[in-house]
Structure 1
């Protein structure tokens, strides 16, 4: 006979407002890491490769910590693409976020991202708000965003459907770190983060005119990613509360009891 390990606290056990606040704080902290590390990198080195390396490493560590910390509260989406994918894939079974939750998460993520950019600017004595002058307007960059976002959605929901969502903090962070380097766009892969990064004219910024095409490409990537998950895994979606990290009340982990000791004759 097996026993089930005590599950981590479920996001559904937290009030709706607290879950929404976790998305605001988590997305804001993520953008502060991305923007702040970019500013620091440019002040410490003139080598663009070193700057990107420092920026990507800080993002990997920061994202992993944030997912591990806030995942049990809200699911650690920090990304409208993940929230929309969770709603779409879970709508039939009724275990995805409902429209009320989606309507709360999305603005919280966007406002958090803007706040994170402003906070990073303040920490480095930059103007609190200065529109980025970094144009990112090219078809190859849009393709990079399609690839980056599709891969992220595939990873997040693929892990959940395969019963390996406990590895999400490490896996998602490592994927984003790798995508910094293998995509032409350096892997924004997040509409909220894209909007927030328009508010800083620093290393991580994106010109406001480039935001809409990036977000459109990310939404295309979202559709591609959901299609890949359905085609490759072909199983019902996990509960939305298991994205990005699992919540044990939905998927209890069997734990075998310790072997019985043999009695001495």
Structure 2
């Protein structure tokens, strides 16, 4: 039996908040320790890799560790009509929780480094090659997550997903946000990891396009017939941790 929807939504909020706190906090720390942009990006990406791997391992058994509306929507789309996939009610709980968590994580990171709690980012990211980078980053993430599910290797998600995001920091022009909730959260911090509010909508649109491309690649590579993929990123409800208050 899986955890209740309310507890899963809380897990998504906490996990997304922690992820954004890692991303924004490590960005602030990196800029304070080095003026070299390459070193700053290296520190930011390494912290994100380690933090994301830990969070997927910890939260996965409760909610599946989406932390990402694009992944949640893709999971709903692939599982619709199966009877055991994510429902519209699940999506309606997960996505607001993820966005609220992302904003909270950015505010928390700002507070830890004595920055203004909310200061809109001035980091403009509104050029076409960055949007292409987001399409590529998100498509690759969706292909990885659902490919792992299709090949019954979801247990590898903590290492595989974290490793992919770390690599995509470097091989994509956008440094791989690949996550609408994280994109929104990062607008609340005028730091190395921030994104200007005017740049958010095009980034989110590119990420949703990337998610659709990723699902197309999953179908092309693994075929259209698929088992229910409700456990993305990590199968949930299969450990004692996930069951005590389930209903």
Which TM class, normalised by the smaller chain length? Answer: over 0.9
How many residue pairs end up in the alignment?
238
Asked if 1:118 is matched to 2:114, the reply is: no
1:69 aligned residue (50, 54, 58): 58
**CA distance in 1 between partners of 2:130 and 2:217 (Å):** 21
Pair 1:49 & 2:38 matched: yes
CA shift, 1:233, in A, is: 0.4
Are 2:144 and 1:155 aligned? yes
Which residue number corresponds to residue 21 of structure 1?
A: 10
Equivalent of 1:81 in 70, 75, 79: 70
**C-alpha displacement at 1:94, in angstroms?**
2.1
Q: Please, which runs of 5 or more residues in structure 2 have no aligned partner?
A: 239-247
TM-score, reference length from structure 2: 0.94
Equivalents in 2 of 1:175, 1:124: separation in Å?
28
Q: Whole-Å Cα distance in 2 between the matches of residues 73 and 23 of structure 1?
A: 9
Give the equivalent residue in structure 2 for 1:6.
none
1:113-262 equivalences under 5 Å are 113-247=102-236
**Aligned residue among 64, 78, 90 for 1:101:** 90
Structure number with larger C-alpha Rg: 1
Q: What's the RMSD between the two structures over aligned residues?
A: 1.1
Contact 1:161/1:235 (<8 A) preserved = no
Equivalent-residue separation in structure 1 for 2:172 and 2:209 (angstroms): 16
- CA drift of 1:247 comes to 4.5
- 1:130-162 residue CA offsets vs partner (Å, 9 max, x unmatched): 000000010000000000000000000000001
Are the counterparts in 1 of residues 108 and 117 from structure 2 also a CA contact under 8 Å? yes
Deviation at 1:239, TM superposition (A): 3.0
* Inter-partner Cα distance in structure 2 for 1:203 and 1:61: 19
1:96 Cα deviation from its structure 2 partner: 1.5
Structure 1 residue 246, shift from structure 2 partner: 2.5
Could you tell me which of 36, 40, 44 is aligned with 2:25?
A: 36
State the match for 1:254 in structure 2.
Answer: none
Distance 1:150 1:142 in 2: 12
Q: What is the CA-CA distance between 1:196 and the residue it aligns to?
A: 0.3
Whether the aligned pair in 1 keeps the contact of 2:23 and 2:193 (CA below 8 Å) is yes
For residues 14 and 32 of structure 1, what CA distance do their matches in structure 2 show? 25
